[in-house]
C-alpha cells in the first residue's frame, strides 16, 4: 500500500504541487497528468525516494521499480551487465535471460547500451524496473519513443504489476490513460 498525505514539493518559492493525498493498493493504477514542467516527474521522484518532499507524509512499500526517460545508463555496459550490476546492488536475482526476453532485447544482450536506440534504452530501463519484482511500479512517460510492439510490452508489464501492487504512470499520452483506475492532474 502506498499512502501520501498532503504531499508537496517546491523549488525555491515555486510550488510544483501541494496538498496531494491518495492511497493506492494492488490492482490500482494512478495516471498523473499535467503540462510539461508541472511536476509529474518530480512527484514520481519523491515517491521513489530520490527526492525529499517539501511537506507532507509518505508511506511506501519496500520494493519500488522506477523507469524514466531521463534515467542514465552506462554506455559501455551491455544490457546483461546492467542487469547483473543492478541485481548485485539490489541484492536480487539478475534474471538477465528472462528479463531481456520479456522486453524484446534478448538478441541485443551483449551490445553496449551506448549503441542502443532510444526505444531499446527504454526497454532496458523497463527490465531494470521490474527486476526486483517490485511492490510499487513507477513509470515516467513509459510509451514515449516506443513502437507498437513496445507499447504492447508496457501494457503487459502494467497489467502484470496490477496483480500484486499498484502502478503510477506520469504521462501526457492519452493512450496511457487506458490503464488508469485513478487520475490526478498536477500543476496549474
Q: What is the DSSP string of 23-79?
A: EE-TT-EEEEE-STTSSHHHHHHHHHTSS--SEEEEE--S-EEEEETT----TTSBH
pLDDT for residue 116: 96
Sheet-wide strand order for 2-11 = 14-24, 2-11, 55-59
- Stated as kind and residue range, the H or E segment containing 135 is none
The predicted model scores a pTM of 0.94
Angle at 50 between CA 41 and CA 93, to 5 degrees: 105
For residue 21, give the nearest of 36, 2, 41 by alpha carbon: 2
Instruction: Give me the pLDDT at residue 143, please.
Output: 93
* Rounded to 5°, angle at Cα 140 from 39 and 112: 130
Q: Which three cell numbers stand for residue 5?
A: 498525505
Q: pLDDT (tens digit, 9 = 90+) per residue, 112-142?
A: 999 999 999 999 999 999 999 999 999 999 9
Q: Around Cβ 62, how many Cβ atoms within 10 Å?
A: 8
Amino acid at each position: 500500500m502506498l499512502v501520501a498525505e498532503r504531499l508537496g514539493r517546491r523549488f525555491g518559492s515555486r510550488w510544483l504541487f501541494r496538498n496531494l493525498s491518495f492511497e493506492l493498493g494492488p490492482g490500482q493504477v494512478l495516471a498523473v497528468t499535467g503540462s510539461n514542467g508541472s511536476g509529474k516527474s518530480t512527484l514520481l521522484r519523491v515517491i521513489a525516494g530520490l527526492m525529499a518532499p517539501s511537506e507532507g507524509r509518505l508511506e511506501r512499500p519496500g520494493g519500488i521499480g522506477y523507469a524514466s526517460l531521463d534515467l542514465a545508463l552506462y554506455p559501455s555496459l551491455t544490457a546483461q551487465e546492467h542487469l547483473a550490476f543492478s541485481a548485485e546492488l539490489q541484492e536480487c536475482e539478475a534474471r538477465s535471460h528472462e528479463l531481456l526476453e520479456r522486453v524484446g532485447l534478448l538478441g541485443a544482450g551483449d551490445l553496449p547500451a551506448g549503441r542502443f536506440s532510444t526505444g531499446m534504452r527504454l526497454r532496458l530501463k523497463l527490465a531494470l524496473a521490474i527486476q526486483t519484482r517490485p511492490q510499487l511500479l513507477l513509470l515516467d512517460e513509459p510509451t514515449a519513443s516506443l513502437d507498437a510492439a513496445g507499447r504492447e510490452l508496457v501494457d503487459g508489464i502494467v497489467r502484470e504489476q496490477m496483480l500484486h501492487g499498484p502502478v503510477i504512470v506520469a504521462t501526457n499520452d492519452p493512450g496511457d490513460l487506458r490503464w488508469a483506475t485513478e487520475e490526478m492532474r498536477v500543476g496549474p
